[in-house]
Chains A and B, each alone.
Chain A
């Protein structure tokens, strides 16, 4: 006879294995990685071979200093010692993200003390569409599960071992992503809310919150001293060019949020937040409430990237679903709904069907729509490595900058790491001009100014700029070196300087 606890464990294990399998199938069926992943791949490769991150990058923007938090890269590099990097890059993020249902389960169980709602929450968290980027190799895959572990440790603060787990997770988080600020601000906000509501908090909670705040600020100072001094408070916006600021910090859209988090967790989660604000006495729910409100607030005032806020928010809402389910079931028992035969089976089935339509299918769609370079694109980038001057700088679209540095090992004109780059808006508008100007003289003067040698026109740049080829391309000044789905041109003309 299988006990309820054992059955729950089997179910949980099944959810985790099912999620992992699904993620890995998708990851391996899509052959390459998302464009941003190539930056991290390159850093991991460098750590494996040299032991240190590539902070003085000779290829990005033609050579620049780029400081980032390296914990995720070191973790990947340690695995890279035993496994090929391509395999590590597909396995590690998906394994880490597959741990999320487990962490959500234990958090939800801590709040509701019930298995079924917690299992539901775990299942929901496994299929949050925005987290279904199976071919993305970024520190977020370490940040999210580790944040959940830190939240769980904070809930279990009375047990000494969780004090240490919390400290270690905060330390690793501070060295993984600046988004750790979300967790710390959320915790402080929870303490503030508790004070307002005159709720008793554990003394250790305040102590750990203060410690994490100072530890986080200190580590960020250590790594980003120059960025902070150069960019001042605007470092929050990472020097993103104003022209594309809207992509990173867009106006909050409810419809987008519904799609990217999933209709059920979003609506039920929001409802629970609303109810908790007025009724909830549970300290742990209050902690999540603090995290949810501060995340939403920071996203609204554009202090956090919208995508990241949505991921974090989605996970919190999944936990809230368990809370809602727990309080909703006794309410249902008082209604006519319970007159339906076997309603305890019917209700989960209804939820499951709704969930498949609103979360699982969008997750698949989201995974299949990941922006990755094709094999043909990669061939062109490899061709560059073998057939161009190693000192050459090559124009690609913004998203392909890291791919060029990683695969072709050539200098790019621009990539998505904007920090500390001077006159970023001007540079970005020049990048656009390379693809969209109608005037050959303007294009050539820009090639001259930046001492650029090649232009790569890929399907990615064609779709961004909505053109086949830049209008100024002709045989006289641009020699076609490579032609497939990707075109590579060598610049052959120069302008003579004139006086104004």
Chain B
């Protein structure tokens, strides 16, 4: 009975591995399409996450003086002249995901991985919530990952022309942020250490020079964040993080770490952990990099459990089944959450109503920081606070004061001093803010006038 089950599993797995170049991209396309499909079924045709609208807005703001600031926004800007610009931008980003997977497939072949390891590594990457989030929303990480993989894919090639093509992606990489350059340099150094390929040297010098230039030009260390951060909450997708790790994959990674511990073959992989863990603490949206490393270990852990002779065969099958179910559970949780993320059509209606308001500079709109990019993109008005505001900490403190204070004597001077003329309240704010105190309570004051209501989304005017 058990042997029969094993045979069936091995036959199916063998088939999947043999045709992985077809199945895996297909699987990724389905995974990336599902959040949009669910949104469409809910009559929501908007892009996923407020962070996507930061990219769209930034793309529309590209001009001769700032085109070099972010290659991703520059490419999106080219789409902005075409009809259905947001959808084209999304299709482009999702396409980057599929291409990245194909490039990864090409790169994994260069390492001494077994066919099972190659297959499960790519499968786990496709199913990882952070990977889905990166390519199902408009995120500059998508282009950076693609460029990095394209660069190394070209470098690994034996064809000289293809090798020379690696200059293009490595030339673009330093224009993201300083971290991107450092990571590219680090990986090139490792490549050189392993392959002793002198071709890397001019590439390294080019990146180094461009990074120095960017340093002088005041490039940030890491772009973003474009969403609120919580180190504990964001870590696991199963525990509420929108783009977190899968808890099952994390446990598999621990198993992978214990079995590969101190094996010479893997010491270079451990090398990245001290870089990516502090980076995650610094900015949780950088989890995508830690995710890659952890998934490598998770793959080793999984394949180890899969190949190992178990004393109790039935327990082995049940454990493997539970693991796969667990990983799929995290993926489905992520897809489900992405499909319901802001913005909604009702919020869009409210934002467009805000656009029609005669609000002149220096007047600003107050809302939570997540909504700032929606205000910029849909309403084309100035929000009080954005994540990339140079005075973020100070303004964030003031914003918390306004949200929590029930006293006009505290809130009104802040609103007046910062020229806040309108306040946008979203459904999410209605559900999370207290109604008998703080901002929602203070709306009872006669200086506030509600000028728009769509479902639970409201615009209040402050006189």
Nearest CB of chain B from residue A304's CB, rounded to whole Å: 18
A228 touches B240 (CB 8 A): yes
Asked if A474 lies at the interface with its beta carbon under 8 angstroms from chain B, I say no
Q: Which of A204-212, A341-349, A388-396 is the interface stretch? A: A204-212
Contact between A228 and B322, CB atoms less than 8 A apart: no
In the complex, what distance in Å separates the CA atom of A210 from the CA atom of B256? 13
In the bound complex, do residue A210 and residue B240 qualify as a contact, i.e. CB atoms below 8 Å apart? Answer: no
For residue A426, CB closer than 8 A to chain B, the reply is: yes
A439 within 8 A of B: no
User: Would A207 and B436 count as touching, CB distance under 8 A?
Assistant: no
Q: When the two chains form the complex, which single residue of B239, B312, B316 contacts A228, counting CB atoms closer than 8 Å? A: B239
Q: How far is the CA of A231 from the CA of B248 in the complex (A)?
A: 19
Name which residue of chain B comes closest to A230, CB basis. Answer: B240
**A-contact bits for B289-310, CB 8 A (1 contact / 0 none):** 0000000000000000100001
Beta-carbon contact of A500 and B326 below 8 Å: no
CB interface residues, A 149-171, toward B, < 8 Å = 163, 167
Within the complex, what minimum Cβ distance (angstroms) separates B262 from chain A?
14
Question: Is A213 an interface residue when CB atoms closer than 8 A count as contact?
Answer: yes
Check A233–B326 contact: CB distance below 8 A: no
How many residues of B sit at the interface, in one of the four size bands?
Answer: 35 or more
Task: Please indicate the chain A residues that have their CB under 8 angstroms from the CB of B311 in the complex.
Answer: 202-204, 207
Query: Which residues on B sit within 8 Å (CB–CB) of A213?
Result: 251
Asked if B326 and A232 make an inter-chain contact with CB atoms under 8 angstroms apart, the answer reads: no
Name which of A12-20, A67-75, A138-146, A215-223 contacts chain B.
A215-223
Shortest CB-to-CB span from A401 to chain B, Å, is 22
Contact: A499 with B446, CB < 8 Å?
Answer: yes
Q: Are A207 and B319 in contact (CB under 8 A)?
A: yes
Q: Which residue of B lies closest to A445 (CB)?
A: B436
Max chain A Cβ within 10 angstroms of own Cβ: one of B232, B236, B251, B312: B312
Q: Is A214 located at the chain interface by the 8 A CB criterion?
A: yes
Q: With A423-B434, A500-B442 in contact, do A217 and B248 touch (Cβ < 8 Å)?
A: yes
B275 within 8 A of A: no
> In the complex, which residues of chain A have a beta carbon less than 8 angstroms from the beta carbon of B442?
500
B238 beta carbon closer than 8 Å to chain A: yes
Partner of B239, one of A204, A215, A229, A426: A229
A225, CB-defined interface residue at 8 Å:
yes
Smallest distance from the beta carbon of B92 to chain A beta carbons, Å?
30
Q: Which of B390-415 contact A (CB under 8 A)?
A: 406, 408
**A229-B329 contact given A163-B312, A204-B311, A214-B323, CB 8 Å threshold:** no
CB distance from A455 to the nearest CB of B (A): 20
Contact B441 A232 (CB under 8 A): no
User: Would you call A500 and B444 a contact (CB within 8 A)?
Assistant: yes
Complex Cα spacing A268 to B333, Å: 48
Q: How far is the CB of A60 from chain B (nearest CB, A)?
A: 20
Measured between beta carbons, the chain A residues less than 8 angstroms from B441 are: 500
A207: B residues at CB distance < 8 A = 310-312, 315-316, 319
Query: Chain B: which residue is nearest A221 at the CB level?
Result: B329
B4 CB to nearest A CB, Å: 20
CA distance A480 to B29 in the complex (A): 67
Interface centre among A163, A213, A214, A231 (most CB of B within 10 A): A214
The answer to whether A225 and B233 touch across the interface, beta carbons within 8 angstroms, is no
Query: How large, as a class, is the contact surface on chain A?
Result: 20 to 34
Whether B233 and A232, one on each chain, are in contact in the complex, defined by CB atoms closer than 8 angstroms, is yes
A499: which B residues are within 8 A, CB to CB? 444-446
Residues of the A chain whose Cβ atoms lie less than 8 Å from the Cβ of B408: 500
Q: Is the CB of B319 within 8 A of A232?
A: no
Among A218, A230, A423, max chain B CB count under 10 A is at A218
Chain B interface mostly helix, strand, loop or mixed? helix
A214 in contact with B322 given A203-B311, A204-B311, A229-B337 (CB within 8 Å): yes
Q: Mark B204-237, 1 if CB is under 8 A from A, else 0.
A: 0000000000000000000000000010110010
Judge if B64 is at the interface, Cβ distance under 8 Å: no
Which residues of A are found within 8 Å of B238, using beta-carbon distances? 221, 228-229
B325 at the interface (CB under 8 A from A): yes
Question: Which residue of chain A has its CB nearest to the CB of B232?
Answer: A233
Q: Which residue of B lies closest to A229 (CB)?
A: B240
The complex places the Cα of A232 from the Cα of B444 at a distance, in Å, of 33
Interface positions, chain B 248-307, Cβ under 8 Å from A, are 248, 251, 255, 305
The residue of chain A having its C-beta at the shortest distance from the C-beta of B330 within the complex is A221
Q: Kindly state whether residue A496 has any CB partner on chain B within 8 Å.
A: no
A336 close to chain B: CB less than 8 A? no
Indicate whether B247 reaches chain A with its CB closer than 8 angstroms: yes
Q: Given A218-B326, A232-B233, A499-B444 in contact, is the A211-B240 Cβ separation under 8 Å?
A: no
Distance (whole angstroms) from the CB of A384 to the closest CB of chain B: 28
Kindly list chain A residues whose C-beta atoms are within 8 Å of the C-beta of B232. 232-233
Q: Is the CB of A449 within 8 A of B315?
A: no
A264 to chain B, nearest CB (A): 39
A449-B436, A500-B441 known; A233+B233 contact, CB < 8 A: yes
A210–B436 Cα distance when bound, in Å, is: 49
Structural contact, B247 and A217, CB atoms closer than 8 A: yes
The CA of A213 and the CA of B305, in the complex, are separated in Å by 14
Query: Complex Cα distance A203/B315, Å?
Result: 12
Q: A residues within 8 A CB of B240?
A: 228-232
Q: Is B251 within 8 A of A214, CB to CB?
A: yes
Question: Given the complex, which residues of A lie within 8 Å of B82, measured CB to CB?
Answer: none
Contact of A221 among B310, B323, B326, B337 (CB under 8 A): B326
Inter-chain CA distance A125–B442, complex, in Å, is 59
User: With a CB–CB cut-off of 8 A, which chain B residues contact A217?
Assistant: 247-248, 251, 326
Tell me the complex Cα distance, A204–B233, Å. Answer: 35
Known contacts A203-B311, A204-B311, A218-B326: A233-B239 contact under CB 8 Å: yes
* A243, chain B: closest CB distance, angstroms: 17
Q: Say yes or no: A214 contacts B319, CB within 8 Å.
A: yes
The B418-450 residues at the A interface (CB cut-off 8 A) are 434, 436, 441-442, 444-446
Residues of chain B lying within 8 A (CB to CB) of residue A208: 312, 315
The answer to whether B318 and A211 have CB atoms under 8 Å apart is: yes
The answer for the CA separation of A210 and B337 in the assembled complex, in Å, is 29
B319→A229 contact, CB < 8 A = no
> How many Å lie between the Cα of A231 and that of B233 in the bound state?
9
Contact call B333/A229, Cβ cutoff below 8 A: yes
> Which residues of B lie under 8 Å from residue A167 when comparing CB positions?
315
Interface-centre pick from B236, B248, B319, B408 (highest chain A CB count, 10 A): B319
Chain B residues with CB under 8 Å of A210's CB are 255, 305, 319
Given the complex, which residues of A lie within 8 Å of B310, measured CB to CB?
Answer: 203, 207
Output the least CB separation between A154 and chain B (Å). 13
CA A239 to CA B329, docked complex, whole Å: 24
Closest B residue, CB atoms, query A499: B444
- For the complex, give the distance between the alpha carbons of A22 and B446 in Å: 69
Given A207-B319, A229-B239, A229-B240: A214 in contact with B326 (beta carbons within 8 A): yes
Q: What distance in Å separates the Cβ of A84 from its nearest Cβ neighbour in chain B?
A: 39
**Chain A nearest CB: distance from B133 CB in Å?**
15
Q: Hey, which chain A residues are within 8 Å of B333, CB to CB?
A: 225, 229
Chain A residues positioned under 8 Å from B406 (CB to CB): 500
Binary flags per residue of B446-458, CB closer than 8 Å to A gives 1, else 0: 1000000000000
Bound CA–CA A207/B320 (angstroms): 11
Given the contacts A204-B311, A500-B444, A218 and B319 also touching, CB distance less than 8 Å: no
A470 to B305, CA, bound (A): 63
Name the residue on B nearest A208 (C-beta).
B315
Contacts of B445 in A (CB 8 A): 499-500
| Other contacts beyond A214-B251, A233-B239: 5, CB < 8 A | A207-B315, A207-B319, A208-B312, A500-B441, A500-B442
Which residue numbers of B lie inside 8 Å of A, CB to CB? 230, 232-233, 236, 238-241, 247-248, 251, 255, 305, 310-312, 315-316, 318-319, 322-323, 325-326, 329, 333, 337, 406, 408, 434, 436, 441-442, 444-446
Binding site for B on A (CB under 8 A): 163, 167, 202-204, 207-208, 210-211, 213-215, 217-218, 221, 225, 228-233, 235, 423, 426, 449, 499-500
Give 18 pairs: A residue, B residue, CB < 8 Å, sorted on A. Answer: A163-B315, A203-B310, A204-B311, A207-B311, A211-B322, A213-B251, A214-B248, A214-B322, A217-B248, A217-B326, A218-B322, A228-B239, A229-B333, A233-B239, A499-B446, A500-B408, A500-B444, A500-B445
